[in-house]
Chains A and B, each alone.
Chain A
């Protein structure tokens, strides 16, 4: 028994998301049954996206790296609570979310996520054609960072974590239709923030 006997297909970018889903679930069930070494496989598959989630939420590199560590150790500790035939990704991001909330409470009880995000430097660069694309993506980044945490969270989950809306519903504890509504409102708010900030830069 070991990684040598592991015969799962690596779902690449072109591969169907469902293949990755099935493989994750199969690996997690074996981790749950005691093959804890296979957690390395799940870590390899997910450490970057999970890091991306934390980094986009907190803008803090070191904290995000610590949180990734925390998430995978929690997966190990709470492996019994994983239910077969449910989305591993949804379960994992639920844990990630809890880890982040715990951390925020512990670190700076007086400040919320929003305060951490507020310190985004403003930059005035000439609207040179070559700089334009970069500037646009910088403004978008600032717009995203300045959204309230709940909007930012649903947006990051929907856009960057490769999740279906049913999975996000499970993570946030709401109905699929509510997820769709929240995503729509969050994208709209992001668009408004973006327009507002671009106007400010243009002046």
Chain B
């Protein structure tokens, strides 16, 4: 066996492909250079197992699920269902589409009869509205990042002005509930999240957050929010919290009430 071959065999051994190879050991016994090379290699490889496993923060998963939800929502909206696929099912949207058609009609009218001067076009208004919503999102997100608790509280208040399908704001609120150091801010964030009651991500975030909260006040607030959302999937999460060895008596009581309520 050559020295080069012995190195390949040691590498295979590191990968766990083979444990002890007789020929390799024979070579190492006879070749001084390979022996002095192999020993530290094996040792440092073993030592590498002692390095700590890096852990992501819980907010990473929350953000991923929010993004996945948004993607799926966009996909399902795109999926066509025959000729009338574009016609919305909710009366509100039907009305909106009708108004849209009217607006297009009016625009065409002003285009073909340019003597009548048009007021600010609906395109401009939509653009303005989009910019406003983007600005509200920006303000909310940046306030939630502040050092001072009262600034973060203002961020939570701003989140009420965000669209109820704004995944960025939703993710930031969930992160606040999970990791903000101030109980008041966390409580306010749970309240603000009720606005997102229709979003499965919000409900899942609250369910996951329930067991991790150390403040009974926040726990009770989460339980109330989930009950209000009629989230039946929260039942196992609540039952799991009941099993925890140390649990505040008030929280225990509130969970029992909530479970009765949800099971109805």
Contact = CB atoms under 8 A, between A and B. Distances in A.
Nearest to A190: B44
A39 interface: yes
A76 interface: yes
Contacts of A36: 68, 71-72, 75
A194 B57 CA distance: 30
Interface string A161-203: 0001100000000000101110110011011001100000000
B60 interface: yes
B168 to A, nearest CB: 12
A47 interface: yes
Interface in A130-156: 133, 136-137, 140-141, 144, 155
A137 B51 CA distance: 6
Contacts of A72: 64, 68
A73 interface: yes
Contacts of B45: 159, 187
**Secondary structure call for the B interface:** helix
Interface residues of A, number: 43
A9 B45 CA distance: 30
A179 B11 CA distance: 9
Given A68-B56, A68-B60, A158-B14, A188 B37 contact: yes
A194 B50 CA distance: 14
Nearest 8 CB-CB pairs, A to B?
Answer: A180-B11, A55-B54, A191-B40, A191-B44, A51-B56, A65-B60, A184-B11, A180-B8
Interface of A: 36-37, 39-40, 43, 47-48, 51-52, 55-56, 61, 64-65, 68-69, 72-73, 76, 133, 136-137, 140-141, 144, 155, 158-160, 164-165, 177, 179-181, 183-184, 187-188, 190-191, 194-195
Given A180-B12, A183-B14, 15 more contacts: A40-B65, A48-B56, A51-B56, A51-B60, A65-B59, A73-B71, A137-B47, A140-B48, A164-B15, A165-B15, A177-B8, A181-B11, A187-B44, A194-B44, A194-B47
16 contacts: A43-B61, A48-B56, A51-B54, A52-B53, A52-B54, A61-B57, A64-B54, A69-B64, A69-B67, A76-B68, A133-B50, A141-B51, A158-B14, A165-B17, A188-B41, A190-B44
Interface of B: 7-8, 10-12, 14-15, 17, 37, 40-41, 43-45, 47-57, 59-61, 63-65, 67-68, 71-72, 75
